[in-house]
Amino acid sequence: MKERHLGILLVLPATVILFSVTLFPTIFAYYMSVHRMTLQHFWSAPFVGLENYFRVLSLSDFWYSLKFSLLYTVVVTSIEITLGFFLAVYFDRPLKGRKVLISIIMLPMAIAPALFGILMKLMFNDVAGLIPYILKNLFKMEVGFFSNFNSAFLTLAFIDIVQWTPFVFIILYAAVQALPRAPIDAAIVDGASKWQLIRHIIIPLLKPTILIVTVFRVMDALKTFDTINVITGGGPGNLTMTLSILVYKLAYTRGDFGLSAAATIIYFLIVIVIANLGLRLLKKGGILA
């Protein structure tokens, strides 16, 4: 009994801190979402029930941002999983300088997303950026990387892929390293080609890990804020505005915390639905009980 009490006492401070930075803001967000809470009426906000939720759902910006966030997530996640997988398989062999190469691949992931966004913004800057300079001087091409939706979307996706493929790679690489050798060796002995090996042996064996890392990346990509906010601010127009950026703008541009809190909760519910789908897939794949 005494030991149990001691255990609880020891864990209590960390638990209190954790709850205060997670539970309290969550509860307060719900509170804000049912009040018309602005900077001017923060302490005297009137109760408005579900009005903020209906207002969010009636915003065309909300639906656009949802569509953009989903499109962005699907595109970057699928490319990152594919690239990360093939990199993991490629590095699963004796390679000269493998460790150094892996360290280089991991570098973008080590940089804070906002800082990485600033670095990439400079790289693509039409006046001082390296990439436009190379394109102009070697290929005689002038590209406006952020001047329209297509170029802005592709550039942002590229930046996300550069930063987060290493995350997928390192998880899948660890999984590849842990694969049992027997089925692979047997397939090689049976004359399987590299592609057959990947398709029929490695992918099925890696399926649980691929699913898990896909769920992680989908959650992360849906939440993308720092990089895109730093680079385009959601522009041109509102064309690259993710749901996170919309939530931020509702709070700090419109000064409407109630509306922003309602948008956050709707966003949270959407992410829960997607997370649940992911969990079902994992259960179906026998990865989770």
Partner 1 sequence: MSEKVDRRTWLKIAAGTVAGLAVGGVAGYLSAPSKEVERTVTKEITKTITSIRTPEKEKVTVTLNWWPGPESDAVTPIVKWWNENMEPENNIHVELVLFGRAEHFDKVANLLISKSPEPDIVFMSYTVGRVYEHLEPLDKWFGSPKYPYALEHYVPAALDSFRVKGTLYGIPTDMNTSILMYRTDIIPDPPKTLEEMVEVARKWTKKYNPDSPTEYGFAIQGKNIWFNSYFWIDLYVNQGGPPLTPGNEIEFAKSLDSDIAKRTLEIYVKILDEGLSPPDCVDYEYAETNQALASGKVAMALQWQCALGELRNPKNAPLIYDKIGGCLPPGRKLPDGTIYRKSEVHVHGPGINKYSKHKEAAFKVFAFLTTFRFARDYIMNGAFTGSQAILFNEHIRKIRTDIPDLAPVYMNSWPMTTHPDLIAIHDIITRNINSALTKLKSVDKALSDAKKELLELLTKE
Does 237 participate in binding partner 1 (rule CB under 8 A)? Answer: yes
Q: Which positions from 43 to 62 touch partner 1 by CB under 8 A, shown as an x/- string? A: x-------------------
Q: Smallest distance, Å, CB 84 to partner 1?
A: 29
Contact code string over 4-43 relative to partner 1, x by CB under 8 A: -----------------------------------xx-xx
Choice from 119, 236, 270, 287 touching partner 1 (CB under 8 A): 236
Of 183, 208, 255, 278, the residue at the interface with partner 1 (CB under 8 A) is: 255
Sign of the CA dihedral with 150 first, then 152, 155, and 161 last: negative
**Of the candidates 144, 186, 193, 272, which one interacts with partner 1 according to CB under 8 A?**
144
Within positions 165 to 224, which residues make up the interface with partner 1, using CB under 8 A?
A: none
Cis geometry, peptide bond prior to residue 132 (ω within 30 degrees of 0): no
Among 126, 157, 216, 287, binds partner 1 (CB under 8 A): 126
> CB 37 → partner 1: shortest distance, Å?
10
155 or 214: CB nearest partner 1 = 155
Selected binder of partner 1 within 127, 138, 189, 289 (CB under 8 A): 127
d(CA 251, CA 116): 25
Among 73, 77, 227, 232, binds partner 1 (CB under 8 A): 232
Stretch that binds partner 1, among 48-56, 140-148, 186-194, 269-277 (CB under 8 A): 140-148
Measured over the CA atoms of residue 275, residue 278, residue 284 and residue 289, the dihedral's sign is negative
| Complete DSSP assignment for the chain | -HHHHHHHHHHHHHHHHHHHHHHHHHHHHHHHHTB--BSTTSTTPPB-TTHHHHHHHT-HHHHHHHHHHHHHHHHHHHHHHHHHHHHHHHTSS--TTHHHHHHHHHHHHHS-HHHHHHHHHHHT-TTT-HHHHHHHHHH-----TTSSHHHHHHHHHHHHHHHHHHHHHHHHHHHHHTS-HHHHHHHHHTT--HHHHIIIIIHHHHHHHHHHHHHHHHHHHHT--HHHHHHTTT-STTTT--HHHHHHHHHHTS-BHHHHHHHHHHHHHHHHHHHHHHHHHHHHTTS--
Cβ 133 to partner 1 shortest distance, Å: 11
Smallest gap, in angstroms, from Cβ of residue 106 to partner 1?
Answer: 27
We find the least distance from the C-beta atom of residue 251 to partner 1, in angstroms, to be: 9
Q: Choose between 136 and 280: whose C-beta lies nearer to partner 1.
A: 136
Q: Which class for 124: exposed (0-12), middle (13-18), buried (19 or more C-beta within 10 A)? A: buried
Does 234 bind partner 1 (CB under 8 A)? Our answer is yes
Size of the site for partner 1 (CB under 8 A): 29
Q: Which stretch binds partner 1 (CB under 8 A): 16-24, 162-170, 250-258, 281-289?
A: 250-258
Contact 135, 143 (CB under 8 A): yes
Residue 65 within binding range of partner 1, rule CB under 8 A = no
Binding site for partner 1 (CB under 8 A): 39-40, 42-43, 125-128, 142, 144-148, 152, 231-239, 249, 252-255
